[in-house]
Amino acid sequence: MRILIFILLLPICLLSQKQKPKNYSRFDEKLFNFGFMLGFNSSDFVIEQKLNNYENYNLVSLQHTPTSGAQVGIVTTMKVITPMVRLRIIPTLSFQERVLNYTFENPLDASEPIISEERVGSTNVDIPLMLQFRTQRLNNFAAYCLIGGQYTLDLQSQQDAAQDLLNPFIKIYKNDYQGQVGAGLEFFAPYFKFGMELKYSRGFKSSFIQDNTEPSNPINRLYNEVLWISFIFEG
The more confidently predicted of residues 24 and 107 is: 107
Confidence (pLDDT) at 138:
87
Lowest mean pLDDT among 19-23, 88-92, 187-191, 195-199: 19-23
Dist. CA 193–CA 182, nearest whole Å: 18
Q: Per-residue confidence at 14, pLDDT binned at 50, 70, 90?
A: very low
Task: Report d(CA 8, CA 142) in Å as an integer.
Answer: 11
> What single letter denotes the amino acid at residue 143?
A
For residue 55, give the 3-state DSSP assignment. helix
Q: What distances in angstroms separate CA 45 from CA 38, 57, 109, 203, one per listed residue? A: 23, 21, 31, 9
Instruction: Please give the DSSP secondary-structure letter assigned to residue 25.
Output: G
Q: What is the three-class DSSP state of 184?
A: strand
**Cα radius of gyration rounded to whole Å, the chain:** 22
Mean pLDDT value across residues 182-191: 93
What residue ranges define each of the domains in the chain, with the CATH number in brackets?
24-234 (2.40.160.20)
Which residues is 4 bridged to in the sheet? none
Contact 172, 159 (CB under 8 A): yes
pLDDT tops 50 at residue 16: no
For 132-176, how does the pLDDT look when each residue is reduced to its tens digit (9 = 90+)?
Answer: 999 998 889 999 999 999 999 999 998 988 888 889 999 999 999
User: Measured between alpha carbons, how far is 112 from 74 in angstroms, rounded to an integer?
Assistant: 50
